[in-house]
Amino acid sequence: MSRSLILVVDDSKSIREKLRLILVDNDFDVILRDNGEAGVLAALEYYPDLILMDYNMPEMNGLKASRMLKKYPQTRSIPIALFTDTEDIKNKVKSFEIGVEDYILKGIDHKELIARISGLLYWKNDRERIIRDKDKLAGLLDNFSDAVAIVDNAAEIMFFNRSAADRFGLVPEVIKAGNLRKVLPECEETDEIIMAVEERRELEELELEVERNGGVRIYRISVRRVQLDYTEDIGAAVFFSDITAEKEAEKLKAEFHSMIAHEMRTPISVIMGYSNLILDGSTGEISGMQQEFLEGIASNGDVLRKLVDDFLEVSRLENKFVNLDAAEFDLVELIEKTVKGLRLLAENKDLELQFNPEEESIRINGDSDKLEHALINIIENAIKYTEEGGITVECSRRDGGVEVRVSDTGIGMSEEEKGTIFNSFERLEKAEKKKIKGTGLGLAIVKEIINAHQGVVRVESVESEGSTFYINLPDLPDPDRSDRTADEAVQTAAD
Ligand code: ADP
């Protein structure tokens, strides 16, 4: 280990000499100066490990010289021990106030002097190591492309990396960057982040849009607790991953899928149109076998069209393209039409399909095409998952809105199963076992459509006895509330 260099500043030659002998004897290198100004210059030139300085010197005294040394960034961290003849409390306090590390009486025992010097050097090395570690950590975090802010439990920023500075306009030199709330946009997501920090919770996968320099960036936020020595909880690290490009790609992909699905609709319609034309005899007589084959083409075309429609609807809804084309219409009329269209499907399975409206006409505001789609999905399911008995559709006014109920006498489902059926691509095991065809998209679409109408859909069911799906729609949807999440549209029976 290299020897430590000590700068001794004293106007008395005999004291300088005495100190030099003691220090050299204890393996220190020594520089001597006889006045404050020369001491400051020597400190700037040699950057010693420690300065022993006389308090009382003519012109620039030890206190003045120390004040200067504690101001310069180059010398600020060199420990200074001031030497005096008398124990003057006032001077002692002043010295400590400007950052001097020790205050020593000249008559001190040699051994104690060396022990104090060793203590100060140990402390200096320790401090330098901490600063080095901190710089290393800061350097490491600066290389992260993610923005990182370390905050205390009141969300006051204690540290941030370069990426955070660039993205949120923080000034790296400013140690007190302020509260995290001030750097983030005013929105629900920011509230959620701050709340998680304050409540000492971790947070994952929250998306936040930040507008800066005329552009919008989307960040995926995670909040992690920060602990010192695995015990002391000092706050949280908030990570901001820029996912703008990812989101853009997702949107492009969704648009591409939607375009392909759209393009598929036309050829399917043409195939079905021609098969139906031939089937209804418009092109002349057809044989029994031709009729059978054509019916196969038409019914499979129908399945294909429904699949494409579901697919289109899901990609539209998932990408928040739920634009309701709302107008006033008669719900009873719409259900009648829907039931009529599905009657053949029910009859093919020898199931009864009834519609019992409570009133002749119930006018509501909504997107009749989308609501028809939702009704078809629910009634078709009722037919699909029922082997005996029948399906009853009812419609009545309820609590300032309307309620549509679709009951079946089918396979039903358990409490647990009820919780999952409204998720995309979710199918129950027994549907798979019974080889009943489906995509698991139908009810996800229903959920999105009903949500867009600010309504609620739920199911009550008893296994092997049957299910009832309830759709509750408010009378006149409030357009300002169409931003709620689709999950709000699903109620469990427990609600
Ligand atoms: P699928 O295309 O599979 O029918 P859905 O989203 O329409 O997709 O339905 C999801 C799952 O919910 C179905 O696979 C089925 O297991 C269950 N399900 C839906 N409706 C009923 C019903 N009326 N009776 C029993 N199970 C049903």
Q: pLDDT by residue (tens digit) across 110-150?
A: 899 999 999 999 998 888 888 888 778 777 777 878 888 88
Tell me the one-letter amino acid at 376: I
Q: Which atom of ligand 1 is nearest to the CA of 408?
A: 23
pLDDT of residue 67: 94
Share of the chain above pLDDT 90, in %: 44
Residue (of 353, 423, 426) closest to 386 by Cα position? 353
Residue of the CA atom closest to atom 14 of ligand 1: 427
- Asked if residues 386 and 411 have their Cβ atoms less than 8 Å apart, the reply is yes
Q: Which atom of ligand 1 is nearest to the CA of 438?
A: 2
pLDDT beyond 70 at 176: no
Q: pLDDT by residue (tens digit) across 225-284?
A: 987 666 677 899 999 888 989 888 887 887 787 778 777 877 888 888 888 889 888 889
Q: pLDDT by residue (tens digit) across 177-212?
A: 688 888 888 899 999 999 999 999 999 879 988 887
For ligand 1, pick from 421, 429, 446, 448 the residue to mutate: most ligand atoms within 8 Å of CB.
Answer: 421
- For residue 427, the CA-to-ligand 1 centroid distance in Å is 6
- For residue 328, the CA-to-ligand 1 centroid distance in Å is 30
Residue (of 370, 327, 334, 352) closest to 476 by Cα position? 327
**Cα diameter, the chain:** 132
- Asked if residues 94 and 112 have their Cβ atoms less than 8 Å apart, the reply is no
Type and span of the H or E element at 238: strand 232-242
Distance CA 234, CA 156 (A): 11
Give the residue, 164 or 279, on which the prediction is more confident.
Answer: 279
Determine if the pTM surpasses 0.85: no
pLDDT of residue 494: 38
pLDDT of residue 455: 92
Range 253-272 burial, b when 16+ CB lie within 10 A, else e = ebeeebeebeebeeebeebb
- Asked if residues 445 and 374 have their Cβ atoms less than 8 Å apart, the reply is yes
- pLDDT bracket for residue 49 (50, 70, 90): very high
Cβ neighbours of 391 (radius 10 Å): 25
Pocket lined around ligand 1, Cβ cut-off 6 Å:
377, 381-382, 385, 408, 410-413, 421, 426-428, 431, 438-444, 467
pLDDT of residue 260: 81
